[in-house]
Structure formats: C-alpha cells, structure tokens
C-alpha cells in the first residue's frame, strides 16, 4: 500500500513537471504557465513599429486635453496663496498676543468699594463710559426671633431655658431695634422661617416670632469689556499698591 502511494506521488510530480516544461505543451498544442513570459509576449505585439516618441510641446501650444489640468493647477495655486495669507495672519496674531482687547471685572463690591474701583479705573485711563456697573439687590433675610430683652440677665435666662429644651440660639446684636435678642434660625424665605416657628411652637416655645432683617443693600460688579494691555497693567499695579479692588479676567 505504501509503495503504491509513493508511486502515485512520484507520477503526479513527473506529470506536473512535464506539463510546465514548455516543449511538451507546445507539442500537444496547449499553452503552459511559461507561455506568458518573454520572448513569447514580444512576439504577440501588434505593429510595434507604429510607436513614435514625440518631443515636448513648445511654449504656447496646448496639448489636447490639457485645459482641465491647467485650470486645476491654477486653482491649487490660488488655494496655496490663501493658505499662506491665513498662516501669516495667524503667525502675526501669535506674535502679539497682548494686542487683542481684554475683558476685566471686579466684584462683588459694596457701595464703598465700588466707588474706590471707579477711581482706579479713572487713574488707569478708562473713560467714564468705558465700564458698566452690574447692580443686584440683595434679598432680605428672615429670622425666628425672641426679644427684645430689656436686661441682659433676662436674655441669659431665656438662652438657658432654650438650651434645656435642646434648642440652639444665637445672640442678635444688630440692628439696634432688635438687640439684644435671640435668633433661633435665619432663612432666605419667609415661608421657611414660618415653618421653623411652627416646629418650635409644637415643642413649647411661645414667645418667638418671625422677623425680617433689614436688606443688606446692593451688590456691585464692575466690568470693562475692552481694555488694552497697558491699561490692564496699570490696574494690576494699582491693586498691588494696596488697592481694595481685585481685577480679574471676565468669567474667571
């Protein structure tokens, strides 16, 4: 069995070699794997003598079909010019980063501080109409209040009574019409203060009430939208000399 297998493989190899050997397929009238190689390919050329080499076209003579290519080359040149101009502008912008106007702001400030900041702007050369004052009315505050106590001993006794009930209270020293008194909580909304009072009354506190504190006033924020680097340096120098205003980039 093994001899037959070896003989079959040997016969297959001999047949494969004979088929790929050029003379045998040609003798049988068939093509071989070598048929696509030289020199047979040269022999299959059709009128090779008709091929001619032409010299380059003289200037001013446009070869057939060259118009689209010339138009494309012109378009590429225009694009390169635009790209070069954009790169030059970008490089110019990077060369002088401080030439662009800056935006500075300061705040929040109270009424006294905003006046000092306005003086700093004038000293730095910013005209009166070159900055804006963004004002915001601060919301009022409500407290759960006990008092006003005529004597400090009375305030101390009430504070000890609240402590025995497990309730925290802080001494109120302003405004004058409410001091001395006790605050059992401070809130931004009247409804929250009333809810706190209801809970305290459920625990036996009878003399407390909700009181609105005076509004803390107005909050200011100054903004200068367009200043150059020289003005920004002057404002920084004024702040470094003990100025109360801290100037910073807008949105920071």
Residue 31 lies in a domain: no
The answer to whether position 77 is within a domain reads no
What are 151-185's pLDDT values in tens digits? 999 999 999 999 998 998 999 988 888 999 999 99
Of 56 and 120, more confident: 120
H-run or E-run covering 33:
none
137: nearest Cα among 111, 166, 163: 111
DSSP label of 241? T
Query: What pLDDT is recorded for position 31?
Result: 52
User: Quick check: is 20 in a domain?
Assistant: no
pLDDT above 90 for 198:
yes
- 164 versus 78: which is more confidently predicted? 164
Distances (CA, A) of 10 to 5, 15, 148: 9, 9, 123
Same domain? 205 vs 155 = yes
CB contact at 8 A, 102 and 195: no
Residues 192 and 242 in one domain: no
**Rg (the chain; Cα; Å):** 48
| Same domain, yes or no: 116 and 208 | no
Q: Note the pLDDT of residue 99.
A: 53
Same domain, 205 and 229: no
Residue 116 lies in a domain: yes
Q: Is residue 58 part of a domain?
A: no
Are 166 and 201 in the same domain? Answer: yes
pLDDT digits (tens, 9 = 90+) for 209-226: 999 988 777 888 888 888
Residues 129 and 228 in one domain: yes
**Residue 233, in any domain of the structure:** yes
Same domain, 192 and 154: yes
Per-residue confidence (pLDDT) for residue 149, from 0 to 100:
93
pLDDT recorded at residue 196: 94
CATH number at residue 175: 3.30.70
Reported as type and span, the H/E element at residue 89 is helix 67-95
Residue 83 resides in a domain: no
pLDDT of 88: 43
What is the number of domains present in the chain? 2
Lowest-confidence region among 40-54, 61-75, 180-194, 228-242: 61-75
Indicate if the pLDDT at residue 97 is higher than 50: no
pLDDT reported for residue 227: 81
Specify whether 124 is located in the same domain as 174.
no
* 226 in any annotated domain: yes
* Residue 59 or 128, more confident: 128
Q: What is the residue range of 115's domain?
A: 101-137+220-249
The answer to whether 210 and 193 have CB atoms below 8 angstroms apart is yes
Between 131 and 18, residue with greater pLDDT: 131
176 and 147 both lie in a single domain: yes
Regarding whether 226 and 188 lie in a shared domain, the answer is: no
């Amino acid at each position: 069995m093994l001899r037959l297998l070896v003989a079959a493989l040997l016969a297959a190899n001999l047949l494969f070699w004979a088929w790929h050997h050029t003379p045998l397929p040609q003798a049988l009238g068939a093509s071989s794997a070598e048929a696509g190689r030289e020199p047979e390919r040269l022999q299959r050329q059709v009128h090779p003598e008709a091929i001619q080499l032409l010299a380059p076209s003289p200037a001013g003579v446009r070869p057939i079909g060259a118009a689209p290519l010339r138009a494309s080359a012109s378009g590429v040149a225009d694009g390169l010019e635009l790209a070069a101009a954009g790169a030059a502008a970008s490089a110019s912008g990077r060369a002088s980063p401080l030439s662009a106007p800056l935006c500075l702001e300061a705040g929040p400030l109270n009424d006294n501080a905003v006046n000092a900041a306005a003086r700093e702007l004038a000293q730095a050369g910013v005209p009166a109409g070159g900055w804006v004052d963004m004002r915001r009315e601060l919301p009022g505050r409500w407290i759960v209040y006990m008092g006003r106590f005529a004597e400090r001993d009375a305030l101390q006794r009430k504070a000890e009574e609240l402590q025995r009930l497990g309730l925290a209270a802080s001494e109120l020293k302003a405004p004058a019409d409410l001091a001395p008194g006790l605050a059992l909580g401070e809130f931004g909304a009247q409804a929250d203060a009333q809810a706190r009072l209801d809970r305290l009354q459920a625990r036996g506190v009878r003399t407390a009430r909700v009181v609105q504190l005076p509004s803390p006033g107005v909050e200011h924020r100054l903004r200068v939208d367009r200043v150059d680097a020289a003005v920004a340096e002057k404002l920084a120098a004024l702040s470094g000399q003990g100025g109360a205003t801290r100037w910073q980039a807008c949105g920071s």
